[in-house]
Amino acid sequence: MTEQQKKDIITLREEGISYSDISARIDIPLNTVKSFYRRHKGSKTLSCKNCGKKFTQPPGTREKKFCSDSCRLKWWNAHRDIVNKKAIYSYRCAYCGVMFRAYGNTHRKYCSRDCYAADRFKGDHGDE
Ligand SMILES: [Zn+2]
Ligand SMILES: [Zn+2]
């Protein structure tokens, strides 16, 4: 079956032409027409997150977000910042004990500069 014949089956069927008429018109066995159209109906039309191109997803497969691998790569490259920002780490401040979050694995020990300064200098006054 050629791409053109596949398109013809879809168009003719959507115009309400019967399977046997389609089969006769484009010279494809009746069962092939039927099974192709059923498969077509079961597939979802999705649009690519990167280029917006419509593509069909065969039934029973995992939902894809991109029409091709190159679109997937382009999108991830363009959105690298957003993707990385998902990596939020939680830390407990070494001075005041408050939990805080930081983007990326920064190994921060303090929730603020004040805590950093306070913890650093608190010992200096011990022997007064
Ligand atoms: Zn695409
Ligand atoms: Zn703190």
Q: Are residues 35 and 4 in the same domain?
A: yes
User: How far, in Å, is the centroid of ligand 2 from the Cα of 102?
Assistant: 13
Q: What is the mean pLDDT of each run of 10 residues along the chain (128 residues)?
A: 92 93 95 91 86 84 88 88 69 92 79 91 59
Query: Which ligand places an atom closest to the C-alpha of 114?
Result: 2
Number of domains, the chain = 3
pLDDT at 128: 44
pLDDT at 85: 59
Query: Which ligand places an atom closest to the C-alpha of 95?
Result: 2
Residue 27 near residue 21, CB atoms below 8 Å: no
The whole domain housing 49 covers 45-84
User: How far, in Å, is the centroid of ligand 1 from the Cα of 30?
Assistant: 34
User: How far, in Å, is the centroid of ligand 2 from the Cα of 90?
Assistant: 13
pLDDT at 83: 61
Q: Are residues 91 and 115 in the same domain?
A: yes
Q: Are residues 75 and 92 in the same domain?
A: no
| Three-state secondary-structure class, residue 47 | strand
Q: Are residues 50 and 80 in the same domain?
A: yes
